[in-house]
Structure 1
Amino acid sequence: MMLKYLLTVLGFATLISASAFTFNLKAQEKACYYIFTTKPNTNVACYFAVQSGGDFDVDYEVRSPRGDVLQSEVKSRQGDWVFNADVVGEYEFCFSNGMSTYHDKVVDFEIKFADENDDDFRANLPGQPNAKPIAHVESMQNTIDNIDKQLDGLSRTLQYYKTRNNRNHDTVKSTESRIYYFSIFEVILMVGMAFLQITIVQLFFKGSRKQLV
C-alpha cells in the first residue's frame, strides 16, 4: 500500500518519507499534510501533541478528497483518533497557529493506516497448498497481533510522557524567567523606597532647621 505525505507551508511542498515526525509551526502560520489512500474504507490513525510554545495549543482540521470536514477543533493541545477514509483520494491534515502573535509551536505528528500491519502480515503468510491452515500459524499470527498492540500502547505511553516532560520543562523555564524579572523589580522597588525615605528625612530636617533659625 502506497503512503505519501506532502507538506505545504507558505506555498512550498516537500515530500515527507516518515509517518511520524516533529515540525515547527511559526506564529500566524498554517501547515498542511496529505495522505493518499488507494482503496475505500481504509482506517487511518492520527496522533499529534504540542510539545512547546505558548499555551501548547493549535487549531487543526481534517478534510476528505471531496472537501468535507471530518475533524476540526480550535486551541487543541493534542489529538488521538481513528477515522474511516471511505473515499479513495488525498486527505488533508492542516494545523494552524493563527491565534498566536509571536509564539512558535513544536508539534509531534504521526499518521498511519490502522490496519496496514495486519494486511501486510496476512499477505506474507506462507502458502498452504492442499492443506488447511496450520494451528500454530494462526497462533503465531495472534501472538504477533498482541505484541503489535502492546508495542503500540507502549509507544503512545512514551509519547504521552515525552509531551508531559516537554510541557513541564517549558513551564519551569517560564517560571524561572518570571522569578528572575520579579526579583529585579523587587530590588528596584526596594532601592526606590530607600531613596524616597532618605529624601523625606532630608526634607524633614531641612524644615526643622528653618524653624530653629
Structure 2
Amino acid sequence: QAGGSAMARVAALLLLPVLIESVLSISFFLPVNTRKCLREEIHKDVLVTGEYDISEQANTKTNLKITDSSGHTLYSKEDASKGKFAFTTEDYDMFEVCFESKSPMGTGRVPDQLVNLDMKHGVEAKNYEEIAKVEKLKPLEVELRRLEDLSESIVNDFAYMKKREEEMRDTNESTNTRVLYFSIFSMCCLIGLATWQVFYLRRFFKAKKLIE
C-alpha cells in the first residue's frame, strides 16, 4: 500500500509538466456575426478531445468547425450549443478551432455569447478509468499504464525535436554553402567588371591621345 502511494506520488510529479501543456481551458465572449479561431500544434498520432459550452441567444446560431492546415475538416457542428468532440492527428500539424456566430438581427442588438472550451490531448485525453474497467486493471496498474503512455509521449517529443534539429542543421549548412557560392560568384563578377573598366578606360584615353 505504501509502495502504491509512493508510485502515485511519482506519477503525479512526472505528469505535472505534461498536464500543463496538454490541457487547454479557455473562456471568451463571441460577438454576433463574428468568427473567432484558436490554433494549436499537435504531434502525430495524438488523441485530442474537447468539450464546449456556448451560451444560448435568441435568433443566433453558432457553428463550430475544426480543420487542419490542409483544410480537412476534423469536426463540424452547426448550431452548436453544448457537446464533445474527439479526433486523432495523422501527422504533426496545426489544427484550428473556429466558432462563428450568425444572426439576422445585426451587430449591437444581440448580447455577446459566452464560449467555454476545454481541450485535452495526449495522455490527459485518455480515459484511464474506462480503460481500467474494460481491462480490469488495479489502481497501480492504471498508474503504470499512464506512466508508460507518458514515457512514450516524451520519447516521441524528443525524437521530433531531434528531427527538427537535424532539419535545421541541414538547412543552415545548405544556406551557408549557397551563400559561399554566391559570394564567390559576386567576387568574380566584380573582378571581371573592374578588369573590363580598366581596358575600356585605357582604350578611351588612347583614342583621345591622353596616354600612349
- Shorter-chain TM-score tier: 0.3 to 0.5
Q: Which has the higher helix share?
A: 2
Higher relative contact order (Cα pairs below 8 Å, separated by 6+ residues)? 2
Q: Which has the higher strand share?
A: 1
TM-score in terms of structure 2 length: 0.46
TM-score in terms of structure 1 length: 0.45
